[in-house]
Amino acid sequence: MGTYFLQTPFWLPLLYPSMIWKNNSANKNIVLTFDDGPHPIITKEVLQILNEYKVKAHFFCVGNNVVKYPEMFQEILANGHQVGNHTFHHVNGWKTETQKYVADFMETEQVFSSQFFRPPYGKISFQQINQLKSKTKMVMWSRLSGDFDKNISKEKCLENCIRKPLRSNEIIVFHDSEKAYSNMIFALPKFIEHALEKGFSFELLK
């Protein structure tokens, strides 16, 4: 992983206005999102944490993982969470030809259909956006936990989540993946508690 912005700079959404960067709710709220699952053990633990705090989240699932772990995918839905397409093979849009990229998106749509999509790595070309924007709602984020970053401690991951004051309608990214596990499982409950203490609720995108 190269450099990345923990907070989305203000100009980035201006370049990609057809994508969702923030929720649009009148309530004081945060949107929780998890990428790269489902995973038979890690997703299960995430679901338990979310249930403890009675919060709902978005899971952007890799199609291939849904094929491998269909029961875990069903469990996400059964718990009232929202799912989204994260391509079938977790492809990098900047390194993938547009027709191939769209085909990978469609392969996942055949496994499960959803109204949301998040491009892996947030990397997608304008041409790919144009091909997909009528088919799905593309969800980006305002805040990264950086849980995927093997070079940071779990304490740093939590700091990434809470250092800048939370603003309403923010979208934060975690990962239910092996790579992110140790950081995520430490930071997630503490982040939820922090947000609840500050008076935020957790909402799903519409």
Q: Which residues sit at the interface with Zn ion, rule CB under 5 A?
A: 35-36, 120
Closest separation in Å from C-beta 35 to Zn ion: 4
Place of tokens 């491009």: 119
Q: Alpha helix locations (H) across 88-180?
A: 98-111, 126-132, 154-162
35 catalytic residue (yes or no) = yes
Across 3-14, b (16+ Cβ under 10 Å) vs e yields eeeeebeeeeee
The residue from 36, 175, 176, 194 that is catalytic is: 175
176 catalytic residue (yes or no) = no
Nearer to Zn ion, 123 or 163 (CB): 123
Q: Are 171 and 141 in contact (CB under 8 A)?
A: yes
Nearer to Zn ion, 35 or 147 (CB): 35
Amino acid at 121: Y
Closest separation in Å from C-beta 97 to Zn ion: 19
Residue 139, both tokens: 């969800």
Residue 139 makes CB contacts below 8 A (sequence gap 6+) with: 19, 20, 33, 58, 60, 84, 116, 117, 118, 171, 205
Closest separation in Å from C-beta 1 to Zn ion: 11
Q: Are 133 and 161 in contact (CB under 8 A)?
A: no
Closest separation in Å from C-beta 20 to Zn ion: 16
Nearer to Zn ion, 93 or 120 (CB): 120
Cα-based angle 79, 83, 86 (whole degrees, multiple of 5): 145
Residue 181, both tokens: 């596990």
Closest separation in Å from C-beta 177 to Zn ion: 8
Nearer to Zn ion, 177 or 200 (CB): 177
The residue from 35, 36, 104, 147 that is catalytic is: 35
Residue 103 has phi, psi (to 5 degrees) of -65, -40
Catalytic residues: 35, 175
